[in-house]
Chain A
């Protein structure tokens, strides 16, 4: 079946512009995550959506960052007034919390959006 799809795969923008990154999770996956990965670095948690619960926004680095999710489908990560330090790969992942066991299934990642702010 289709995996997690992210678009665009690459985005070059000028400092100060707003950008929108899109994530299409695996159908039926209730949980959706956004991570940021700077060159050669680890995964920095940004935000987590789980079903109809309030999202966990504790990882968003500033109020220039926001994210939305429509039900259990598409999510968009918006970065306003981009700065050069926002340059990174933005990874989206989804997972299914099995209702019977309450146990997580693994995260399935997209290939990311490489954002370059010039």
Chain B
């Protein structure tokens, strides 16, 4: 059973566009929701993370929106650039336990 469901599987946007990637979870015990960015040949790297006590977190051009009641969270990339082309994974964890990852979204930003 997929603990974290991620969509879309792939996304193509023009430079300057705002890609949005969505994730949903079921386990209300999850209390930490990170997003990871992965470039080819590299391991995933933490991009931004949020805890359920806030509804939004912004770091630079990256924003997480969190809806606790709907058990959904999403990543928005403002003013997207070709260098943002990568695979993005959402994840969820319950403190002290394992992390559960979404299936990934391949983002392509066209110059």
- Are A4 and B43 within 8 A (Cβ)? yes
Q: Please report which residues of chain B, range 1-54, place their CB below 8 angstroms from some CB of chain A when the two chains form the complex.
A: 31-32, 34, 36, 41-46, 49
- Are A93 and B43 within 8 A (Cβ)? yes
- Are B41 and A104 within 8 A (Cβ)? no
Residues in chain B near residue A33, CB distance under 8 A: 98-99
- Are B43 and A109 within 8 A (Cβ)? yes
Residues in chain A near residue B101, CB distance under 8 A: 35, 42-43, 45
> In the bound complex, what is the Cα–Cα distance between A97 and B89 (angstroms)?
21
Interface string of A88-118 (1 = CB under 8 A from B): 0001010001000011101111111000000
Q: Does A41 contact B (CB under 8 A)?
A: yes
Chain A interface residue count, CB cutoff 8 Å, equals: 24
Q: Does A48 contact B (CB under 8 A)?
A: yes
Q: Which of B42, B46, B93, B104 contacts A108 (CB 8 A)?
A: B46
Residues in chain A near residue B42, CB distance under 8 A: 111
Q: Contacts A104-B93, A104-B95 known; A91 to B43 CB distance under 8 Å?
A: yes
- Are B34 and A107 within 8 A (Cβ)? yes
Q: Which of B34, B44, B98, B102 contacts A56 (CB 8 A)?
A: B98
Residue of B with least CB distance to A109 = B43
Q: Which of B36, B96, B98 contacts A102 (CB 8 A)?
A: B96
Residue of A with least CB distance to B94 = A104
- Are B41 and A103 within 8 A (Cβ)? no
What are 20 A-to-B residue pairs whose CB atoms are below 8 Å?
A: A40-B106, A41-B104, A45-B98, A56-B97, A56-B98, A91-B43, A91-B44, A97-B95, A97-B96, A103-B31, A104-B96, A106-B34, A106-B46, A106-B49, A107-B36, A107-B46, A107-B99, A109-B44, A109-B45, A112-B43
Shortest Cβ-Cβ A-B pairs, 7 listed: A109-B43, A42-B103, A106-B46, A43-B101, A48-B98, A42-B104, A111-B43
Q: Which residues of B contact A (CB under 8 A)?
A: 31-32, 34, 36, 41-46, 49, 89, 91, 93, 95-104, 106
